[in-house]
């Protein structure tokens, strides 16, 4: 008998319940331990057990390494984190690349084990509150579905376990087919939809709507080319277990129809933030709208009404303490990714390919061969660009006290500036900075999205920043619907919804048709959902990853030379009347030399798991 580490850990964990005195359902600091039997005889204790199942959501995407660094969105600045094992195609079952706890095999099965315990015990629980019992059961179905969905989209078909194992059971179990996994997840979500109907909606807890939205996502992925038998065979033709990663029955056309219907049901049931516009807002309003969406109502800067975007979120609270020194996820993200000239750590910096994919304000593509574009590349761009990317000369927050004297203008400095004596001054946000040279961006960009722009939060190290992570937001569902409409030939409906998203951002309506409309949709999805952990999955399910990760990392080199007769500004500040700026795109291979190997369409199952369970079959290419 072989016992996997995650199942055994789950058995031991289920013998006790972590219970906290405060009401925050994601607080996992145990103040007491309650027996398993007592748990199911008391409503609040049963609820606390479900809260612990939520805790496996972790920080969501607010981790030090971001999934964006596995895509053409970002580069991870700091070497030695095994990012390159994925981006260079060297990952193997015995030498894994970085994996987040939100999809790591062991962690997800431990979470599933806890959900299974709840689903096993709640029907026979003895507390009197039937409405609470239904709610907790619905949440357990949703969470089990969510964790299986995480495994499915990273690994393909996985073993489906729907009961809590005991120590005397046989734990060897084969992987289920991709189709079986989709059906299982959808069934769980249908149960959740029924049980959660009409229940109170507490931010961060599963609801009828979040179950509907997750179902729409699962069906969208199921309909995509990555999981169509014929298209997958063209990539993995020699793999003998194709049903683990693709459908062997049914039609892709029907799957797209199912995905379309599921997404439309969500759109009909609620409304997002500033949808329904008939014309573009101003450029400044477009930027403000996008900042508000990223803040999710967690900042004094922005429109609190943007909480309507959040269908399922990582709770916005300073009480969730995964790491003792970091009281909340938004803060953790900010210091990890902000500029080194603010004493931040420049973690997941945007790469030039992302910057270049932001359209011009008139809806045309940015083009380095256009002299007007190349001489001033950060002007007149899609308003979401200014809410997402920090670039040389961008206005930002006041500098920390020890830096303020060298940058009273509060502008990002990622370039090199003529000192008037034949040399150049290093920008204070470069890797050659006099502030913290080891923490500078290698791409000469920083991310702004998800970092609270409140000027009172000077260095991002205050515990005042509270930003929710959007596991699912309304616009994702709208984009899912648009894609399904395009795939089912409903072009007018797709264009209508696409334009609503563009109008909110201040961008013009599209007149594209055919393949150009599909390309525009894919770019719109890329821009709207940047840094939200979608690009990794989208590039794979569209089978285009060779042209995303495979195109390497581009960075920018910014130089400012004095105009004839001009005197350098001391302290330096960005000024086009004093300096001529040149922008040179360069390759960056300092940490990674990116390439694409088709095996990376799926993550490998850890060699230790294969050794423990002789029935497990490895993914193709490994």
CATH number of 5-63+100-269, picked from 1.25.40.390, 3.40.50.300, 3.40.190.10, 1.10.10.60: 1.25.40.390
179: tokens are 């189709």
pLDDT at residue number 439: 93
Measured CA angle at 206 (ends 200, 210), to 5 deg: 105
The residue behind tokens 């993550």 is 603
Q: Count CB-CB contacts under 10 A for residue 520.
A: 20
Q: What length does the chain have?
A: 622
Distance CA 96, CA 75 (A): 18
Helix (H) or strand (E) holding 559: strand 554-562
What DSSP character marks residue 244?
Answer: G
- Asked whether the predicted pLDDT for residue 26 surpasses 70, the reply is no
Mention every residue, 6+ apart, whose C-beta is less than 8 A from residue 522: 538, 542
pTM (predicted TM-score) = 0.93
- Asked whether the predicted pLDDT for residue 334 surpasses 90, the reply is no
Higher pLDDT, 15 or 587: 587
Contact 158, 142 (CB under 8 A): no
pLDDT at residue number 31: 39
% of the chain beyond a pLDDT of 70: 91
Alpha carbon of residue 196 to chain centroid: 26
Mean of the per-residue pLDDT values for the chain?
91
335: tokens are 């210091």
3-state secondary structure 101-161: CCCCHHHHHHHHHHHHHHHHHHHHCCCCCHHHHHHHHHHHHHHHHHHHHHHHHHHCCCCCC
pLDDT at residue number 300: 85
Task: pLDDT band for 16, please (50, 70, 90 cuts).
Answer: very low
Distance CA 284, CA 403 (A): 29
What tens digit of pLDDT does each residue of 183-222 get? 999 999 999 999 999 998 888 999 999 999 999 999 999 9
25 vs 10, 205, 211, 320, CA distance in Å? Answer: 20, 9, 19, 9
DSSP per-residue string spanning 157-212:
S-----S---TTS----PPPPHHHHHHHHHHHHHHHHHHHTT----TTS--HHHHH
- Asked whether the predicted pLDDT for residue 144 surpasses 80, the reply is yes
What tens digit of pLDDT does each residue of 345-385 get? 999 999 999 999 999 999 999 999 999 999 999 999 999 99
- Asked whether the predicted pLDDT for residue 12 surpasses 60, the reply is no
Contact 121, 35 (CB under 8 A): no
Q: Where are the domains of the chain?
A: 5-63+100-269, 338-454+554-587
Mention every residue, 6+ apart, whose C-beta is less than 8 A from residue 88: 592, 593, 594, 595
pLDDT at residue number 169: 79
Where b means 16+ CB within 10 Å and e means fewer, 329-366 reads bbbbbbbbbbbbbbbbbbbbbbbbbbbbbbbbbebeeb
pLDDT at residue number 464: 53
What DSSP character marks residue 568?
Answer: -
pLDDT at residue number 333: 83
Task: pLDDT band for 23, please (50, 70, 90 cuts).
Answer: very low
pLDDT at residue number 273: 98
What tens digit of pLDDT does each residue of 88-123 get? 999 999 999 999 999 999 999 999 999 999 999 999
Please tell me the number of Cα atoms within 13 Å of 355 on its side-chain side: 29
Measured CA angle at 226 (ends 264, 348), to 5 deg: 85
Distance CA 497, CA 481 (A): 8
Of 32, 63, 25, the C-alpha closest to 320 is 25
Mean pLDDT of 139-166: 96
pLDDT at residue number 405: 97
pLDDT at residue number 473: 98
Distance CA 512, CA 519 (A): 9
pLDDT at residue number 513: 97
Alpha carbon of residue 101 to chain centroid: 13
Mention every residue, 6+ apart, whose C-beta is less than 8 A from residue 517: 486, 491, 494, 495, 510
- 494-502, Cβ contacts within 8 angstroms, sequence gap of 24 or more: 494/521, 498/524, 500/275, 500/276, 500/277, 501/275, 501/475, 501/528, 502/280
């Amino acid at each position: 008998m072989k016992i996997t580490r995650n199942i055994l850990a789950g058995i031991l964990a289920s013998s006790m319940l972590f219970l906290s005195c405060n009401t925050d359902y994601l607080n996992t600091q145990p103040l007491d331990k309650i027996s398993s039997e007592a748990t199911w005889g008391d409503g609040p204790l049963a609820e606390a057990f479900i809260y612990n199942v939520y805790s496996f959501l972790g920080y969501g995407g607010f981790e030090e390494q971001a999934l964006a660094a596995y895509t053409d969105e970002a580069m991870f600045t700091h070497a030695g984190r095994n990012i390159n094992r994925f981006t260079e195609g060297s990952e193997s079952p015995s030498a894994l690349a970085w994996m987040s706890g939100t999809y790591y095999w062991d962690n997800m099965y431990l979470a599933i084990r806890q959900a299974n315990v709840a689903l096993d015990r709640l029907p026979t629980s003895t507390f009197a509150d039937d409405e609470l019992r239904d709610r907790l059961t619905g949440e357990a179905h949703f969470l089990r579905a969510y964790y299986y969905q995480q495994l499915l989209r990273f690994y393909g078909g996985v073993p489906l376990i729907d009961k809590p194992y005991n120590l005397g059971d046989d734990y060897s179990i084969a992987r289920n087919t991709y189709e079986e996994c989709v059906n299982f997840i959808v069934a769980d979500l249908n149960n959740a939809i029924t049980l959660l109907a009409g229940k109170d909606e507490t931010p961060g807890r599963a609801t009828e709507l979040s179950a509907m939205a997750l179902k729409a996502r699962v069906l969208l992925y199921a309909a995509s080319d990555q999981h169509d038998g014929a298209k997958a065979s063209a990539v993995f033709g020699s793999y003998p277990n194709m049903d683990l990663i693709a459908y062997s029955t049914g039609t892709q056309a029907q799957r797209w129809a199912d995905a379309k219907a599921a997404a439309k049901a969500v759109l009909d049931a609620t409304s997002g933030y500033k949808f329904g516009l008939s014309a573009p807002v101003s450029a400044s309003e477009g930027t403000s709208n996008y900042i508000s969406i990223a803040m999710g109502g967690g900042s004094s800067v922005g429109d609190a009404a943007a909480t309507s975007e959040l269908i399922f979120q990582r709770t916005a609270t300073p009480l969730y303490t995964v790491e003792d020194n970091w009281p909340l996820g938004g803060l953790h993200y900010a210091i990890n990714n902000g500029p080194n000239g603010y004493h931040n750590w420049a973690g997941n910096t945007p790469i030039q390919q992302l910057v270049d994919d932001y359209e011009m304000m008139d809806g045309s593509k940015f083009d380095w061969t256009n002299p007007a574009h190349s001489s001033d590349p950060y002007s007149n761009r899609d308003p979401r660009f200014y809410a997402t990317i920090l670039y040389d000369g961008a206005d930002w927050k006041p500098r920390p006290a020890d830096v303020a004297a060298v940058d009273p203008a509060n502008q990002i400095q990622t370039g090199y500036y003529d000192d008037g004596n034949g040399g150049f001054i290093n920008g204070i946000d470069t890797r050659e900075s006099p502030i913290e040279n080891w923490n500078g961006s290698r791409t000469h960009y920083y991310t702004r999205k998800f970092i609270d722009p409140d000027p009172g939060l000077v260095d991002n190290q205050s515990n005042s920043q509270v930003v929710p992570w959007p596991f699912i937001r309304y616009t994702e569902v709208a984009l899912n619907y648009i894609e399904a409409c395009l795939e089912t030939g409903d072009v007018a409906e797709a264009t209508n919804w696409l334009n609503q998203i563009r109008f909110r951002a201040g961008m013009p309506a599209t007149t594209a048709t055919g393949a150009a409309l599909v390309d525009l949709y894919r770019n719109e999805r890329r821009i709207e959902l940047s840094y939200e952990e979608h690009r990794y999955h989208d590039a794979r399910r569209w089978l285009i990853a060779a042209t995303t990760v495979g195109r390497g990392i581009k960075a920018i080199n910014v130089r400012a030379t004095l105009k004839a007769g001009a005197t350098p500004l001391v302290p330096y500040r960005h000024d086009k009347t004093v300096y001529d700026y040149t922008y040179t795109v360069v390759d960056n291979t300092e940490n990674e030399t990116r390439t694409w190997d088709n095996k990376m369409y799926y993550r490998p199952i850890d060699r230790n798991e294969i050794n423990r369970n002789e029935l497990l079959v490895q993914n193709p290419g490994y």
